[in-house]
Amino acid sequence: MAEFHQIIGHEQIIEHLKTAIRTQTVSHAYIFAGEEGMGKRTLAAAFTKGIQCENKKEDGDSCGTCKSCLQAESKNHPDIIYVTHEKASLGVDDIRSKLNNDILVKPYSSSRKIYIIEDGEKMTEQAQNALLKTLETPPAYAVIILLTNNINAFLPTILSRCVILKLNPVKEEDIKNYLMQVYKIPDYQAELSAVFSQGNVGRAISYSSSENFAAMKDKVLHLLRYIDQMELYELIEGLKDISEQKGNIEEYLDLITLWFRDILMFKVTKDMNLLLYKGEYSEIVKQANKRSYEGLEEIIKAVEKAKIRINANVNFDIVMELMFLTIKEN
């Protein structure tokens, strides 16, 4: 769990949060929005730590050493409550029992009581309406933080009562330096991971710590170069070795998405400098000439669908077959 000064990127958001702590103008409700791996949890953790810190620094950051900071670090702070769940959705009973009823009890050891709702987009409409009652008349000491990778899942009435902080991609160079300094990743590997992470620090860390990321990228490229000449059964065969390491399948699908985004990007801009797969320039030009805008958008949607289905434990071979069929048809 980081302090603000240990987080890379998101400078404007960090400044906003530190100013709120420093000037004691912390709002009652926040939404941290950004895709998985962008740093929502890290920012929320640094913010809650700063709010509760007993020896805040002048700029609003936490000290990292007081009792409150150590309790926050170990997720053992009596006044920082994580509203988590293992189910597909977060229901009205969860919100009532873990938040609405509990929030009426005053803070145990701090001036504030903070609730962090992870995967906020999983709240049902009834759960959101239950939360709305608390957001309309929160106790003076309450702070509610919603983390989400899909801000469109919230009711307009929820959005209107929260400070919305959207996380933007972190600069490539910053991610590369971070990987080299903090994780001691070699220069070339750090650069490769930073480029393909698309500004997502969590993804970059995952790529850089994956021993076979470069090899996996080459394997993906081989399939994508010859995808139109290969039969469906050959493509499925090509995936067999990947399916044995399903832990990497999301990264694999990300690489496929980025390939087709590159083709779409080149089709729109004709600018080689915007490509991630610069070394595959001639193949990208060839496929951009052959595929339509609509076809490329269909393909990108199909890869995203495949990700969702894999996470829902749909049969691996069937998911991949449907995805490759869409790619070949478009």
Q: What is the pLDDT of residues 50-101, one digit of tens each?
A: 999 999 998 999 998 999 999 999 999 999 999 987 777 888 988 998 999 9
Q: Report d(CA 76, CA 69) in Å as an integer.
A: 10
- Helix, coil or strand: residue 322: helix
165-to-1, 11, 130, 325 alpha-carbon distances in Å:
19, 12, 22, 39
Residue-wise pLDDT tens digits, 244-256: 655 567 778 888 9
pLDDT tens, position by position, 258-293? 899 999 999 999 998 888 888 889 999 999 999 999
Mean of all residue pLDDT scores within the chain: 89
Please tell me the predicted confidence (pLDDT) of residue 1: 55
Q: What is the mean pLDDT of residues 287-312?
A: 92
Q: What is the pLDDT of residue 255?
A: 86
- Would you say residue 242 has pLDDT above 70? no
Residues 139-157, mean pLDDT to the nearest whole number:
94
Termini Cα distance of the chain: 45
Please, are residues 266 and 284 in contact by the beta-carbon 8 Å criterion?
Answer: yes
- Residues 6 or more apart whose CB falls under 8 angstroms from that of 162 comprise 27, 29, 30, 31, 135, 146
Tell me the pLDDT band of 243, cut-offs 50, 70 and 90.
Answer: low
The per-residue pLDDT for 312 is: 83
pLDDT tens track for 4-29: 988 999 999 999 999 999 999 999 99
Residue 324: alpha-carbon gap to chain centroid: 26
> 108 falls in which pLDDT band (50, 70, 90)?
very high
**Distance between CA atoms of residues 294 and 272, nearest Å:** 21
Domains, in order of start, for the chain:
4-166 (3.40.50.300), 210-329 (1.20.272.10)
313 DSSP 8-state letter: T
User: Phi first, then psi: what are they for 285, rounded to 5°?
Assistant: -60, -45
Over residues 185-209, the pLDDT tens digits come to 888 788 888 988 889 999 899 888 8
At CA 213, angle to CA 226 and CA 42, rounded to 5?
130
Residues 6+ apart with CB under 8 A from 113: 79, 81, 103, 105, 106, 107, 139, 141, 142, 143
